[in-house]
Amino acid sequence: MKTRSKVLLGLLLLLLAASFWAWRYGPGWLVQFNAQQQQARTASEAEGHGFGRQSDQQGCLDRALTDFNACSGYDCTLQQDFFLKACLEEAAPSAGFCDGVPAYREQPSEDDKTWARHRCWDLDIRGEGCRLLLRQQQYWCGGGVAAE
């Protein structure tokens, strides 16, 4: 019985210490995290603009997918998304870039999801981020407007 009380007391103290840490340092951590994310976004966009000035649309997509395939995690997906958007703004048109690309919709249809999934498989790229990057292609090819 004493061992159980000690364990519960230990857990309570741990919970209190964690609560104190979150109260004391949590807001500062969030500010720092947001600043780091903004710096990473700015760097990815700058890299995308620079690459896009020397490439075409297909080159931008290929580079974003290749770089995505070499990393993992949510941050990686975000950075490649920022890169791709900026790159496409600067890139020269690519013949056939939009051929066979479904119209962009706010809520992707099952056909949209199937197209993206199979395209990622064909490229041998795994992970949800690949499909999200292909949504950028859909959006770009649709002129930045969702289909009705």
pLDDT digits (tens, 9 = 90+) for 75-109: 889 999 999 999 999 999 999 999 999 999 999 99
- Whether 9 is covered by a domain: the verdict is no
Q: Residue 25: inside a domain, yes or no?
A: no
**Does residue 104 form part of some domain?**
yes
pLDDT at residue 15, as a whole number: 82
Model confidence band, residue 145 (pLDDT cutoffs 50, 70, 90): low
Distance CA 148, CA 146 (A): 6
- Residue 24 located in a structural domain: no
| pLDDT at residue 121 is higher than 90 | yes
Count of the separate structural domains present in the chain: 1
Question: Is a pLDDT exceeding 80 seen at residue 63?
Answer: yes
Decide if 124 is inside a domain: yes
pLDDT one-digit tens code per residue, 11-54? 788 888 777 777 777 677 677 878 888 998 999 999 999 999 99
- Count the Cβ atoms, other than its own, within 10 Å of residue 16: 10
Q: Is residue 107 part of a domain?
A: yes
Q: Which domain holds residue 72?
A: 31-141
Q: CA–CA separation, 54 vs 91, rounded Å?
A: 7
Secondary structure element (H or E) that encloses residue 56, with its range: none
pLDDT over threshold 70, residue 148: no
Its pTM stands at: 0.77
85/60 Cα distance (integer angstroms): 9
* Domain annotation covers residue 1: no
Angle between helices 2-53 and 74-90 in degrees, nearest 10: 10
Q: Which of 53, 49, 125 shows the shortest CA–CA distance to 83?
A: 49
- The answer as to whether 2 is a domain residue is no
